[in-house]
Structures are given as structure tokens and as C-alpha cells.
Structure 1
Amino acid sequence: MGWEPDRDALRGRVAVVAGATRGAGRGIAVALGEVGATVVCTGRSSRTGTLRSDYDRPETVEETAEQVTAAGGTGVAEVVDHLDPDQVAALAGRVGAAHGRIDVLVNDIWGAEVLKGGPDRWDTPVWEHDLDDGLRILRLAIDTHLITSHHLLPLLVARPGGVLVEVTDGTTAYNATHYRISAYYDLAKVTVNRLAWSQGHELAPHGATAVAVTPGWMRSEIMLEAFGTAEDTWRDAVDPPDGSAPTAPPGFADSESPRFVGRGIAALAADPGRARWNQASVTAGELARTYHVSDVDGRRPDAWAAMADEEATGASG
């Protein structure tokens, strides 16, 4: 038998996943639902059409909440623009009135994938990069997290044991020695890691924990579309059954579903010794090894470890 989540590990706990419409945010929200949590799922993309996302995509925050409930938790959809302090303050008021606290807060807000651009736009020097686009990348990646923490962390420290997760791309150690796509993207991802560290310093006296978590090569909806595949056929993008040319590079074989990082986060949140992670910067693969969780297909991929091995081999060669 393969690994199965403990369906009651977070039963009775309240989580807020900020930026839960798609990608890692949706995977994390559903994984928290798998272990029984009540999950408030926030985002701009809604069936109501009241807010506009930076993406023109079909996923909605209501769909995420429904998937949380179907997984065994209780999903609650909240349409929120996390760049608007008044909207986030109002969200905090509603969550506080309904639940009185937050046990898990996940800052997964991003929304700059289009602005980041594809590989043909990477390595563009800061003086050639569009300034307005660059500054919006920073606002979407950093301001949203600070606004959300400002208004929601009072509910997290209402009683000891809370967990704050800052979702980013790359660990502190990796990002310290690697240039990441552009000055703006690089700064955004380094900053979110540091934000987890600094917030951990502030949360520790209240018995709460902050940790930065990076997924590996994640099969988000956008990524699957880019390689012309779907979640149930993603392996064909690396090794087509008809012998045609692959649509994805070989490294995609080490990819993970969005649920994978979520399962690691859910296990961390349920761990009575979770305070040992305070101020840490970890990968989804590291959490999976520690807590013995598996992806939806039973695998335990670790794209970051694979990349480190390749770099070490190249350096020694």
C-alpha cells in the first residue's frame, strides 16, 4: 500500500491559503483539505467576475474551495485582491468573526508569471526591462505578502502553535548563488525567503513558526499547457508513446503535481515539533523525505536535489 494522508490530522484547524486559485496555492489548499482542515481559499479569479486577475485563465477560487471540500475538508471561497489593504483587512474581519483564529497561513500570492515572460525574455538587463512590468512583479510578489501578513497574523498569534508558510521559488542557499531570470524576479524570490526568516523572528515569542517553502518543477496548469499536455498524460511530454519528439525537456521527468508541496506543508502543520522549522528555507522534496509523504502518483520527486547533483557533476567534470 502507498502513502495515504491522515484524514483527521488537521480536523478542526483553520487555514487561509492566500493565492489559492491555481498552481501551488490550489495544491496546498486541497492537501490541507485532505487532512480535514477548514481552508479559506483566496484569489481574484472568481465565477462572479468581480475582480480581474493578471491571468486570462479559467480557474476560479470557488473551484478550489469545492476541491478542498471534496478532498475531505471544508472549503471557503473568498474573492480578494491582496494588493488592496482594505480588502485584506475586510477578509481578516470575516475570518475572525467566523473562526476567531487562524492556525495556518499560507502566503502563495504571485500572479506575475505573464510579466516574468518566457525563456526568450530571460536575462534581460534591468535597464532594458520594462520598468512598469518590473515594479509590478515586485508588488505582486512582495507587497501582497506584507499586506496579508499585516492583517492576518494577529489571528495567527491569537493562540500558540500557528504556522506561517511563505511560498517562493528556490531556497535561500540556492538563490544566494544563482541569478534568477531577471533583477526583478531575482529580488522577488530572494525577498520572500528573507521575509519568512524575519517573520519567524517576530513570531517565535508568540509560539508561532514561519518557514519558506519552494516547490520543485511543478506541473501547474500554465506549465502543462506550455508543454501541450495534461496531468493524466504528463509523462508523454517527456517520452511520447508514438515516438514523436518530446514537448518537454528531460528534467520534466522529475516534476511534481501541485499537491506534492501541499502535502509536505500539511504534514509540517500537523507536526507537534513544527517549531524546529522556524526561519528555515526548505524544498517540497525535503519536506516529503522528512514526513514520508508522496505525490498523487506515489512518487517522491526532488527536482532541486537532482539539479544540485547535475551541478556537482558538472563542476567535478
Structure 2
Amino acid sequence: MTGPLKEHVALVTGGTRGAGRGMAIELGAAGATVYVTGRTTRESRSPLGRTETIEETAELVTEAGGRGVPVRCDHMVPADVRALVRRIEEEQDGRLDVLVDDTWGGDQWIEWKPLWEHDLDNGLRALRNGLETHLITLHTVLPLLVRRGRGLVVEVTDGDDMFNDRYRGSMFFDMVKVAITRLGKVLHDELAPHGVTSVSLTPGFLRSEEVLEHFGVIEENWRDGIAKDKWFAISETPRYIGRAVAALAADPEVARWSGRALSAGVLAKHYGFTDLDGSQPEASRFFEEVYFGDRKDAPVEDYR
């Protein structure tokens, strides 16, 4: 393995598909050994019922130049996460350089309606699945980083500071994502004294596998989806946020970002990386100036 993250060890939770897969692949492309966790394997599927597996993601990590290690783990189950930590301790002599905390899996329970009309059981289940998984993971995994006195924690969320002033259309979804953003911020106070950097990070309009299916397109013809939703023109691949994570992990001065709520687009401008097509989507600026602002007729090309 070669690259700026050669000999680095990373853990990407919720790495089966979407942003998790994109981040795992790009960490691998930078040379890292990447433990990829999720609930869907070639032997069994999660309740979501999708076909993507952690083994596929791990193989893509290895193909990219790193080493992918798939580990089935339900991050709602503390015993599963403890077993994961023991495995990293045994196989990597306790070394962990990067924790990417990306569990979610709550879309199936989110209803885009007012709180009093939302099914309460579904809402609470989404809240637990979206937030408790992060807390369980952090509580169990952080000692690996703290003991080494270095490392990076990335809390993957939806929206940066600008977006957190806006309602996301579902109270339960909004609460989960704001809370995760807050985790990335307040962990700074607990981790910085131990030499560990913590940030929260959001993608923009993510072209995940599920989103591509919703628009009836594949990556090769994704622009055809713009006819269904003009805002789709600002979308980005999961590899874009992956390159953001890899850039942070390779930055010797990454502590400059500690406690910040960041976006892939902002980091692309700072570090100079692009999406797979060579563009630099700026979703945060787009949402602020166009979607929520008064530049409704602004060309989307201004934000790529």
C-alpha cells in the first residue's frame, strides 16, 4: 500500500453503501487499512433489505489501493461494538487513526409531516437508531484514540452550521442530525486535551445508490435526473465526501478544524480536491444563496 495514509488504520461505521462506502474507498485510495462495518453481508441482510454488502465495500477499498476489512456490526448492540474494538486491538496492536462515525439507517421510519401527525413509535425508533448508535460507538471506540494521544473523529451528519438554522421537514430527522453535528463540536472539549481532533462533516446533495434509484438513473447518466428535480444538478458522488475525509486524515495540521461543522464543498476549496467529474460542488453555498436565499434563477454551474 502506498499513499499519504499508508500504515494508517481507519474505521468507517455504516460503510455498506452511500457516503460510508465513498469515504471508505477514498481512505483506501490514500493507502489506509479500513475496517468497514454494517449489518448487511453476503449471508444476511439488514431490515432495510438493500443488496449492498460490507464485503463489496471492503473489496472496493482494496481495489483502490488500501486494505478493506469487513466486520458485521450492529452499532445498536454494545457487545457487537466491543467485539469490534477487541478485533482492532488484536489485529492492529490497538492502533486506530481515524474513526468515521456514519451510522444512520433511519430513513424507513421518517415521515415528512408535523410532529403530532408522525407515528410516535417510528419517530422514536429513528431517533434511537440515528443517535444512540453514535453514542454507543463513541463510548466504546474513543479509548483507542485517547490512549494513543492522536487521531481524527468525523461525525457524519446532514447540514453544516448554516443549515442547522433551517428546519429539515421532519422533527425526528432534524433532531438526529442537529444532535450529531453537536457531537462533532462538543467532542472537541473532551478530546482536544488528548491530542484528538473532532469534526462534524456533511455531504451535499448525495448521489447515493438509493437516490440514483429514486431518480431512475445510474451514475453514468445521472444528469437525466435533473428533469425530475432541477436541484439535482448540484448533486455529488459519495466519493466527494470521501476525498474530504481523506484530506482531513492526511493533514498534519488537522487540529485547525477541531470542533467545526464542515462540508465536503468547503473542504474541496481548501484542499483542492474535486469530485470524480473534476467539478467542485458547493452545496452549502448553493442552499444558502439559492434554495433558501434570493438567487432563485442563479445558474447551477456557478455552484459546481
Distance 2:149 2:276 in 1: 32
- What are the superposed Cα offsets for residues 29-54 of structure 1, whole Å, 9 maximum, x if unpaired? 001001000000000010121xx423
Following TM superposition, by how much is the alpha carbon of 1:298 offset from its aligned partner in structure 2, in angstroms? 1.1
- RMSD between aligned residues: 1.4
**TM-score of the aligned structures, taking structure 2 as reference length:** 0.94
* Residues 1:129 and 2:118 aligned together: yes
1:110-189 correspondence runs (5 A): 110-116=104-110, 121-122=111-112, 124-175=113-164, 177-189=165-177
Q: CA deviation at 1:23?
A: 0.4
How much has 1:285 moved relative to structure 2?
0.2
Cα distance in structure 2, aligned partners of 1:101 and 1:156: 8
Structure 2 contact 3–30 (Cα < 8 Å) conserved? yes
Q: Which moved more, 1:260-269 or 1:296-305?
A: 296-305
2:56 to 58, 63, 75: 63
Alignment partners' CA distance in 1, 2:184 and 2:232:
28
The range that moved more, 158-167 or 266-275, is 158-167
What amino acid does structure 1 have at the position aligned with 2:57? T
**Which residue does the alignment assign to 1:243?**
none
Q: Deviations over 1:243-283 (max 9, x none)?
A: xxx2x311111110000001011101100000011110011
Match of 1:276 in 2: 256
Following TM superposition, where does structure 1 have runs of at least 4 consecutive aligned residues deviating by more than 4 angstroms? none
Name which of 186, 197, 202 aligns with 1:209.
Answer: 197
Aligned to 1:242: none
Report the counterpart of residue 227 of structure 1 in structure 2: 215
Distance apart, 1:7 and its partner CA = 5.1
Answer yes or no: is the 8 Å Cα contact 1:54–1:112 preserved in 2: no
Task: Compute the TM-score of the two structures, normalised by the length of structure 1.
Answer: 0.90
Aligned length: 294
Distance change in 2, residues 1:314/1:232 (3 Å): closer
Please point out which of 281, 287, 294 is paired with 1:313: 294
- Deviation at 1:158? 2.4
Aligned to 2:39: 44
Contact in 2 for aligned 1:45/1:61 (Cα 8 Å):
yes
Unaligned runs of 5+ in 1: 1-5, 239-245
